[in-house]
């Protein structure tokens, strides 16, 4: 590979890494991005301005106690195309076809089948005789493989956050809210010894989906 091609490849990798960090963390300043990537803040800003020219990122200013306001960079809706979309157009078309052919009852039956298959797949992959934290880590790994960019945060003893930074079925879930309801049901059935509550929701306009998981007393 020639020198120019190597530089282009390195540039693309760095910009993709920036996009991934912004997807996972939300609005972030150049200095923090630089610390993640082990490059200078000036180099990060050059990449950010290039991504801004492609309309993939934007920023807003946040006042700081000392010095000038900080620019906090975040992804634009146009950046969604860089992440898995779960074949949105095909899924929407199929949902509309099922509803037209079989009505709401048929759609509910389809969701029942999908829920059963998904539950069986998770149950076979997540050992029942493990701690709540271990179950959540296994669930997050499965969800990440499906495109949800999932991670676990521990709040305190027995309380966790399951965070999904991306929704690969967002378009379908917007058109069919039953998909989101069924996912919450699946999590609760997988985590029988816990209470699961959705606290943030992409469909409601928030950046990510977050589930608060607490061990039952």
Q: Give per-residue pLDDT as tens, 165-184.
A: 999 888 888 888 888 999 99
Higher pLDDT, 90 or 191: 191
What the block records as the tokens of 107 is 């759609």
Report the alpha-carbon distance of residue 190 to residue 180 in Å, rounded: 16
CB 191 within 8 A of CB 132: yes
Look at strands 57-62 and 159-164 and give their pairing: unpaired
| Residue 87: predicted pLDDT | 60
Range of weakest confidence among 92-96, 145-149, 180-184: 92-96
Strands of 159-164's sheet, edge to edge? 150-156, 159-164, 209-215, 194-200
| Residue 66: predicted pLDDT | 83
What confidence tier does 65 reach under pLDDT thresholds 50, 70, 90? Answer: confident
> Under the phi-then-psi rule, with left for phi > 0, alpha for psi from -120 to 50, and beta for the rest, what region is 33?
alpha
| Residue 86: predicted pLDDT | 59
Q: Examine the pLDDT at 137 and tell me if it is beyond 90.
A: yes
What confidence tier does 1 reach under pLDDT thresholds 50, 70, 90? Answer: low
3-state secondary structure (DSSP) of residue 59: strand
CB 185 within 8 A of CB 171: no
| Residue 176: predicted pLDDT | 85
Report the alpha-carbon distance of residue 11 to residue 17 in Å, rounded: 10
3-state secondary structure (DSSP) of residue 160: strand
CB 58 within 8 A of CB 74: yes
What confidence tier does 49 reach under pLDDT thresholds 50, 70, 90? Answer: very high
Report the alpha-carbon distance of residue 52 to residue 45 in Å, rounded: 10
| Residue 123: predicted pLDDT | 95
Report the alpha-carbon distance of residue 151 to residue 24 in Å, rounded: 9
At 157, give phi and psi (nearest 5°).
Answer: -60, 115
Report the alpha-carbon distance of residue 122 to residue 71 in Å, rounded: 41
| Residue 143: predicted pLDDT | 95
């Amino acid at each position: 590979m020639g020198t120019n091609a190597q530089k282009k490849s390195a540039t693309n990798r760095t910009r993709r890494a920036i996009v991934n960090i912004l997807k996972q963390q939300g609005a972030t300043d150049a200095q923090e991005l630089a610390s993640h990537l082990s490059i200078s803040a000036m180099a990060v800003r050059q990449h950010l301005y290039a991504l801004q020219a492609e309309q993939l990122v934007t920023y807003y200013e946040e006042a700081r106690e000392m010095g000038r306001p900080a620019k906090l960079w975040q992804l634009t809706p146009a950046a969604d195309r860089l992440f898995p979309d779960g074949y949105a157009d095909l899924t929407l078309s199929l949902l509309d076809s099922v509803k037209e052919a079989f009505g709401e009852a048929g759609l509910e039956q389809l969701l029942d089948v999908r829920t059963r298959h998904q539950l069986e797949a998770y149950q076979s992959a997540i050992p029942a005789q493990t701690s709540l934290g271990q179950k959540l880590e296994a669930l997050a790994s499965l969800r990440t493989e499906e495109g949800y960019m999932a991670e676990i945060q521990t709040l305190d003893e027995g309380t966790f956050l399951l965070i999904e930074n991306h929704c690969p079925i967002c378009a379908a879930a917007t058109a069919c809210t039953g998909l989101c309801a069924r996912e919450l049901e699946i999590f609760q059935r997988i985590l029988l010894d816990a209470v699961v509550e959705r606290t943030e929701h992409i469909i409601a306009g928030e950046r990510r989906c977050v589930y608060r998981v607490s061990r039952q007393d």
